[in-house]
Structure 1
Amino acid sequence: MTKRGHGEGGIDERGENVFRLRYRVAGKRHTKTFRGTLTEARKELRKLVRAGDAGQHVEPDKITVGEWILSWLDAGAPGRKKAKVGERTLERYSELLRTHVIPKLSARPLQQLRSGEIDQLYLDMEKQQDGPSPRTQHHVHIVLGACMATAFRTKLIVANPMDSLKQIPSVRELDEDDDADLIGEGLSEADLAKLIAGFSASSLYPVIALAAATGARRNELLALRWVDLDVEKKTLRIEWTLEQTKKHGVRRKRPKTARGRRTVDLDDTTLALLLAEKNRHLRIVAGVPDGADIIPALVRLPEGALMFPAVPSPGSDYSFTAWRNPRNFSKEFARRAGVIGFGSTRFHDLRGIHATALLDAGIPVHTVAQRIGDDPAVLLRNYTKRRRTKQANDALAAAISALASGFLGS
């Protein structure tokens, strides 16, 4: 036994290079097993005593990494602002941690986890044949980092091992070929018209046309109700979005950020398209064929009727309040787009195409960002990654020519 002064704690030798550290914090006794030399044990004891004096003491806890991860997920994966994430995000966090982290580190005591073990986890993922992509590896690092940051903030661990990693997984720089795939394919005005016309006989047509005309997200569009349309003001109110999870299926929720709730101006052509779609719904309610005249004042849609409800299966009744399945919608878009020659175009690309067209036309970044419900900095960053359109190149050439003419006097 090593005796120390009052308040300095004590050290008991329990075996070769194994010591029990004894100390007090606010009058409460604590013990900790330490493996190392006697000199290192004394250093660790002094650190524990100083932490107690400074109010930074972390009580010894036998919780394992796996137990802490599951506890964090059960609490809603709270971050720096102590707020829970959405259900869909939580499912993705759970998938990443359960697939890539828990099988490797589950049994390790949380307070004994070292940065070298996390470095090895990342190295194993990188070397794994048919393993996770660089982007998935980066996402694992981000989620594990959030999990460990919460453990440090709540004083479960003395130090965050994520702060001293040798190398973190990062998404490699995008080359020109990858850029179009990840950032979104730009289409000329003629190509966009061809793409939308290719869906004219599909139930997806009005959704696709509205996406191209507003830059709204898929799940925002599928959550729209007819009460969100103001015909007189020619505006569309976006206040909800859909969320699809394994636990709850498809349900409506508020957008992630305040900027997601917005009112979008509509042009006359888009407004006419929506009114034609609403009249089609009214004819369905009235039980009359397409093209037949109806008196809108005498026919009413059900309360909460959606603009783009689910298409009923054969033999089923039409429900105006049944959500479309977002994932199936995207799959159907991809299938049809491939048939008409736009196999590399994703539905989400329509949002980027809309924003790019407005920015190329000289509309201020903050105005475009407000219209599509995005952060101006994010919008500008994505815009700079996107290939410039011919219109943008022509505008750039004209501006350079005008500038040169001004200072050269030609």
Structure 2
Amino acid sequence: MSAGYASSWVIGAVSGIDNWRHQTRFRRTFGEGGIDRRGENIYRLRYRVGGKRFTKTFHGTLTQARVELRALIRASDIGEHVEPKRLTVAQWIDQWLVAGAPGRRKKKVGQRTLERYEQLLNTHVKPAIGEQILQQLRAAAIDNLYALLEDKIAPRTAHHVHIVLGAALATAHRTRLIAINPMAHVQQVPNPEAMIQEDDDRGDIADGLEEHELSALVAGFKHLDLFPIVALAAACGARRNELLALRWTDLDLEKKKLRIERALEQTKKFGIRVKAPKTKRGCRTIDLDDATIGMLVAKRAEYQRLISGIPDGADVDLTLVRLPAKALIFPAVPGRGESFDLTRPRNPRNFSKEFARRADVVGFGATRFHDLRGVHATALLDAGIPVHRVAERIGDDPAVLLRNYAKRKRSKGADESLAQTLAAIAGGFLNF
């Protein structure tokens, strides 16, 4: 090979290399980053934020890659840059749960709620989208998830999945793990009432109980250990776990008032333990009627006789018998071979199952113990008690109370009362 020919070959080769570099690297001015071609419609975006180098792999056309690079640089200029990460959806869910599943108020949820969140996410979300990169998760994937759940689980459960997944992604967006929350672009949110039918076997029996029906339900527990709890629930509208955590020191016989200051919580991690009420509104004082007070006094007398060994019927002054300071109004019933302990709480889940079995026997099989709370609130609202007063009594948000009340069947008495009131109003200006 002659020297001239070799020189020409080298120059041509160098020129070809420079041409390849020009085609695969798109240089920009300093500070604006750069774009490298990595394959067919695959580009590596390079840019700096605060002197720190970042790279991001982008799939799309060159024009789209340039738009994405400008967006990244613009985000860094206004302080909204999100550092690229390979964190998967499943990994983020685990981190969020370990942190206590904080919501928009940046507070941890209770242990029982946390375990429910974990169950929903591990069962329904992780298998479908858990392996996806969090920053690459799009609304279409979530829509596909909801479509899969539609035929597998109840609409209300699907809605709960949506709420919990939304909370997890909102936290990721708030902490700048993702630039855009894909939940904002979901096409259709699961409807919790999509499959509610008027002829459902469970029906809405408890929602529209008349006074005589409620009396029949409570009377069905007469002579059973559950009776005082059921009767008190119907009389005051307290939650199950609030009732089971009540102590005798919470009862003021002279003023006929009952203080709600704590509740039971049953979780896999801690078992049964005492905690504060569900919300701040949960701490409240409830007025009781004479009949309910009399029932509770009789129940306390049973315990006083039991721990002091005084036989039934013996005429003694029971006020001299002191109950333990933390004695519960409704303690656990001792099993075979167990000693009676006034401070040992009942198992909430077992109690609900026992209630359901008995309610079914007396003809109210569709009624849950929690329904008594709704029946109590409905009765007060039907009677014309102001919403805020009813909400204070049951420890609920007035807006939530109204929303739930609007879904319930009104009693016949409420409709008759409304008709009478309307007639009285119209009569005032039509009878002339």
Flag whether TM exceeds 0.5 (same fold): yes
Match of 1:103 in 2: 127
The correspondence for 1:142, drawn from 155, 163, 176, is 163
* Secondary structure of residue in 2 paired with 1:314: coil
- Aligned pair 1:356/2:378, yes or no? yes
Quick one: distance in 2 between partners of 1:355 and 1:17? 62
Identity level (%): 63
- Aligned pair 1:270/2:270, yes or no? no
The correspondence for 1:314, drawn from 336, 360, 363, is 336
**1:303 CA displacement:** 2.3
Larger Rg: 2
The correspondence for 1:89, drawn from 113, 116, 121, is 113
Quick one: distance in 1 between partners of 2:412 and 2:275? 39
Mark the CA change 1:334 to 1:137 in structure 2 (over 3 Å): closer, same or farther: same
Q: CA offsets per residue over residues 62-112 of structure 1, 9 Å max, x none?
A: 111110001101110001111011111111110110001101112111111
- Aligned pair 1:117/2:136, yes or no? no
Mark the CA change 1:386 to 1:405 in structure 2 (over 3 Å): closer, same or farther: same
Contact 1:230 1:236 survives alignment (8 Å): yes
**1:180 CA displacement:** 7.7
Contact 1:18 1:35 survives alignment (8 Å): yes
Mark the CA change 1:179 to 1:159 in structure 2 (over 3 Å): closer, same or farther: farther
**1:404 CA displacement:** 2.9
Contact 2:102 2:108 survives alignment (8 Å): yes
- Aligned pair 1:188/2:210, yes or no? yes
186-195 or 272-281: which moved more?
A: 186-195
**1:298 CA displacement:** 3.2
Quick one: distance in 2 between partners of 1:122 and 1:297? 61
Mark the CA change 1:230 to 1:355 in structure 2 (over 3 Å): closer, same or farther: same
Quick one: distance in 2 between partners of 1:321 and 1:385? 39
Match of 2:103 in 1: 79
Q: What are the residue-to-residue correspondences of 1:199-214 with 2, within 5 Å?
A: 199-214=221-236
Amino acid at match of 1:249: G
Q: Unpaired segments of 5 or more residues in structure 2?
A: 1-24
Amino acid at match of 1:364: P
Amino acid at match of 2:139: S
Contact 1:88 1:243 survives alignment (8 Å): yes
Match of 2:249 in 1: 227
The correspondence for 1:34, drawn from 58, 66, 77, is 58
TM-score (norm 2): 0.91
Match of 1:65 in 2: 89
* Secondary structure of residue in 1 paired with 2:26: coil
- Output the aligned Cα RMSD: 1.6
Amino acid at match of 2:136: Q
The correspondence for 1:381, drawn from 403, 407, 411, is 403
TM-score (norm 1): 0.96
**1:214 CA displacement:** 0.7
Counting matched residue pairs gives: 407
Amino acid at match of 2:368: R
352-361 or 365-374: which moved more?
A: 352-361
Quick one: distance in 1 between partners of 2:99 and 2:396? 28
- Aligned pair 1:153/2:177, yes or no? no
Contact 1:65 1:108 survives alignment (8 Å): yes
Contact 1:179 1:385 survives alignment (8 Å): no
